Amino acid sequence: MCLDIRKTTIKVDGLKKEYKFLQISDLHMLKMDERDSEARRKGYKKRADDYFTLNGVPTYDLLPTFLEVAKSENALPIFTGDTVDIPTESAYEVLDKYMPLPPDVMFIFGNHDWSFMDYIHGIDRDTVTKDDYWSDEYRQKYYPRYQKFAQNGNLHYQAIECDEIIYAGFDNTENQLDQSQCDFLISLSKKQKPIIIFCHNPFYCDTLHQPLVDRWGERGANSTVVNGKSSPMNEQTKNFYRAMLSPDSNVIAVVAGHVHIEHDDLIEGKIPQYCGAGAYSGIARLFTIKA
């Protein structure tokens, strides 16, 4: 399988070494078997065939290939969410088989990693309500099984501290961040190293809005980003946002997924934000950080 590996360089003055990571975002592995109900298998089949199969290859079969690319480039694989499309047992077994464990990976949670969309797809509207898409029950049920892929078992906030830079990962799949995540970011900033933030949902940017409207419609564009029109920041998220943009923050870039389009811009005209294309389309991005 021939993958499309895009390349981006982030320049940081004063670095003595070069650092590389491969962003793999939104692979959307959709794998089902007899452990899933017939309704579910039937209901998601078209989605699996139409969106998450590339040249006849289901995207769950791309996982080892992406990881081989990271290895051959000597780059840290960083997953920015939606690695699975629905958290079935069989999809999880693929992760279990191939996904490296920390510190050899950074795994960020996406909204699909812990949610079924049975209601939205009309699979089960008798027993499942609309709220089940992002229910506490699903979060509590599926969060623990992914914890081993996060640094210190913490998907909520995590970091890898390299010699000269820090990779910091946050779960912001509901378009909000909380005070513990803000405090963690502030504590990292005190280490006086450049920080790159990884999260699933991007932050609102003026130039990102129109491409999002083109891809997801006005409603999607307003709801898929932090600080979007229909997802205004709560007080704790505002604290995080202010800390990120403050002159003391040391945040030099944000790398996000979720929107399935490659797009680079500046948050508030200050911090570069890189959105990755969906890995389900065979695309990943190799970042090199150097002086």
Binding site for Fe ion (CB under 5 A): 26, 82, 110-111, 258
Host H or E run for residue 257: none
Considering the complex, state which of residue 24 and residue 75 has its C-beta at the smaller distance from Fe ion: 24
The per-residue DSSP string of 186-241 comes to HHHHTT-S-EEEEESSPBP-HHHHHHHHHHHHHHHHHHSSBTBTTB---HHHHHHH
Q: Least distance (Å) from Fe ion to the CB of residue 34?
A: 26
Q: Least distance (Å) from Fe ion to the CB of residue 59?
A: 11
Q: What are phi and psi of 287, to 5 degrees?
A: -100, 135
What gap in Å lies between CA 32 and CA 213, rounded to an integer? 32
What gap in Å lies between CA 5 and CA 283, rounded to an integer? 6
Considering the complex, state which of residue 171 and residue 265 has its C-beta at the smaller distance from Fe ion: 171
What gap in Å lies between CA 153 and CA 149, rounded to an integer? 7
Q: What are phi and psi of 170, to 5 degrees?
A: -135, 140
Q: Least distance (Å) from Fe ion to the CB of residue 62?
A: 14
Considering the complex, state which of residue 159 and residue 275 has its C-beta at the smaller distance from Fe ion: 275
- Token pair recorded at residue 147: 């914890």
Considering the complex, state which of residue 110 and residue 276 has its C-beta at the smaller distance from Fe ion: 110
SS3 (DSSP) at 169? strand
Host H or E run for residue 197: strand 195-199
Task: State the chain's maximal CA–CA distance in angstroms.
Answer: 60
- Token pair recorded at residue 254: 């944000």
Considering the complex, state which of residue 156 and residue 258 has its C-beta at the smaller distance from Fe ion: 258
Name the closest residue to Fe ion (Cβ): 82
Q: Least distance (Å) from Fe ion to the CB of residue 259?
A: 8
What gap in Å lies between CA 264 and CA 7, rounded to an integer? 13
Considering the complex, state which of residue 26 and residue 118 has its C-beta at the smaller distance from Fe ion: 26
Q: Least distance (Å) from Fe ion to the CB of residue 281?
A: 11
Q: Least distance (Å) from Fe ion to the CB of residue 69?
A: 20
Scan for tokens 């609102």, then name that residue.
204
Considering the complex, state which of residue 59 and residue 111 has its C-beta at the smaller distance from Fe ion: 111
- Sheet with 19-24, strands from edge to edge, namely 4-11, 283-290, 19-24, 76-80, 106-108
